[in-house]
Amino acid sequence: MAPRRGHTERNGACRRYRVSQGTVRKAIDELSAENLVVRRQGKGTFVATHAEQGVQYRFLKLVPDNGSVESEGPAARTIIDCKRNRASADVARALGLRTGDAVLQVRRVLAFAGVPTILEDIWLPGSPFKGLTAERLASYQGPMYALFETEFGVRMVRANESIRAVNPDAEQARLLGVSSQTPLLSVERVAYTYNDAPMELRRGLYRTDTHHYRNVLS
Amino acid sequence: MAPRRGHTERNGACRRYRVSQGTVRKAIDELSAENLVVRRQGKGTFVATHAEQGVQYRFLKLVPDNGSVESEGPAARTIIDCKRNRASADVARALGLRTGDAVLQVRRVLAFAGVPTILEDIWLPGSPFKGLTAERLASYQGPMYALFETEFGVRMVRANESIRAVNPDAEQARLLGVSSQTPLLSVERVAYTYNDAPMELRRGLYRTDTHHYRNVLS
DNA sequence: GAGTGGTCTAGACCACGCG
DNA sequence: GCGTGGTCTAGACCACTCA
């Protein structure tokens, strides 16, 4: 029998779907362009995850003003609150739920170099995240989206952000250690899992005295 | 002689560079992914431009809060100022010039539905834009980047933006018709032409009471 | 009908990572 | 050595636009 040489998996997909190698490659190219999979030379193609080094916090566009590396992600995370709640009209609409449906609500502060910089209010649909507690959030090392993947099987694949400039209310100002006259970035994010299903609403307040929101246009 | 059928241009590029059709397609795919060219079914592949309908203002991410269409771009543009100047240290660094080099400086206000919403300060390197005047800016219909293309042969192909929340100074507040306690988005953009050459520094102040900066993460 | 872009075929060879 | 990803070949057929 003639020896088979290389490309076993690629050819496997070809046989499975009755198409040629080039077509399989093109399809995977498109998944890769959407950041749904990641390719690694000589190793293989893998489902993209928020857990692996180098692409952690890939949805976080706030970077330090000086080009310092920040060693990937905030140094300190403090859970202020984590409670069950009923969805208000706007939260329900963002998450594709009905007003009054069960949601999980989290408030936390992220600090860089000891300075509280981000205050986030997060709303999650109740049923996919049943069992999420403040303790679990507090004890988990690494990005929240990595926890969502490993503990709840929810993978965020894309998000939309709406950005405004606002002043904080009294409590927000207190939690960030600024005056209520300090202008802050308001970043409202809706994150989606597969099939365009919204799975998180996140309202962030960012201090922009030492950091800025960085965006690339093309 | 056997009749040639179709794909004359595509085959032309193949002969010219001694490569196959698929390779030419892949190269053009990459240019298309970077928005350097645009393809149109049955018509051809064209260099991307800021002038054509539908992709005008493609670097402007400020959109109205209600999903209204805004009929593409601001209704009114007012040139406040347009003067020759010498580059300060930070402007020079952004544009790849030396401190004191000649620059053109423009200040203008954009209004939506009669409401002044964007105040922009724009710095351009002196030599590529020699001959640009306030009159030419004021009389030109369409996006400024389209004018740069047709009148000066400078095509912006990508840009970086740094976003902060700030309060305006007294004059900025006056020009936008807001109080100096109003939080505004500060959007600093460096736009690049081919070969990663910076060709514009633009500092914008955006009102975000009726509009927001929209960003897609993936 | 000629000339485009869009998709697909059925392979080939090279570079890389790992055992 | 073997299985990956990366690139390339030399075509084919279809859909679309325009004269």
Domain residue limits, chain A: 8-47, 62-213
Residue A218 contacts B where some CB pair is shorter than 8 Å = yes
- Of A52, A37, A21, A30, the residue nearest A142 (C-alpha): A52
Q: What is the mean pLDDT of chain A?
A: 93
When pLDDT is averaged across residues A4-18 and rounded to a whole number, the result is 78
Low-confidence spans in chain B with pLDDT less than 50: 1-4
Q: Minimal Cα distance from A211: which residue of B?
A: B164
Q: Do domains A8-47 and A62-213 have the same CATH topology?
A: no
Residue B183 contacts A where some CB pair is shorter than 8 Å = yes
What pLDDT does A54 receive? 84
What pLDDT does A8 receive? 76
- Full DSSP string of A22-86: HHHHHHHHHHHHTTSEEEETTTEEEE--SSSTTSTTTT--EEESS---TTSS-SEEEEEEEEEEE
Q: pLDDT per residue over A75-96, tens digit each?
A: 799 999 999 999 999 999 999 9
Report residue A5's pLDDT band, with 50, 70 and 90 as the boundaries: low
- Which carries the bigger pLDDT value, residue A25 or residue B6? A25
Q: How far is A86 from chain B (nearest CA, A)?
A: 25
Half-sphere exposure (Cβ direction) of B131: Cα atoms closer than 13 Å: 6
Decide yes or no: CATH 3.40.50.410 for domain B8-47: no
Task: Show the tokens assigned to B33.
Answer: 């992914």
Closest nt by CA–C1' to B32: C5
Work out the percent of chain A whose per-residue pLDDT is above 70: 95
Q: pLDDT per residue over A130-146, tens digit each?
A: 999 999 999 998 999 99
Q: Minimal Cα distance from B191: which residue of A?
A: A217
Architecture of domain A62-213: 3-Layer(aba) Sandwich (3.40)
**Pick from B59, B167, B184: which is nearest to A217 by CB?**
B59
CA B214, CA B33: separation in Å to the nearest integer? Answer: 21
- A159: Cβ contacts below 8 Å, ≥ 6 apart: A59, A189, A190, A191, A192, B216, B217, B218
Whether residues A163 and B157 touch (CB distance < 8 A) is answered with no
Distance B43 CA to D18 C1' (A): 9
Q: pLDDT per residue over B92-137, tens digit each?
A: 999 999 999 999 999 999 999 999 999 999 999 999 999 999 999 9
Task: Show the tokens assigned to A181.
Answer: 């006259």
Residue A124 contacts B where some CB pair is shorter than 8 Å = no
CA B1, CA B215: separation in Å to the nearest integer? Answer: 56
Q: Minimal Cα distance from B161: which residue of A?
A: A215
Residue B118 contacts A where some CB pair is shorter than 8 Å = no
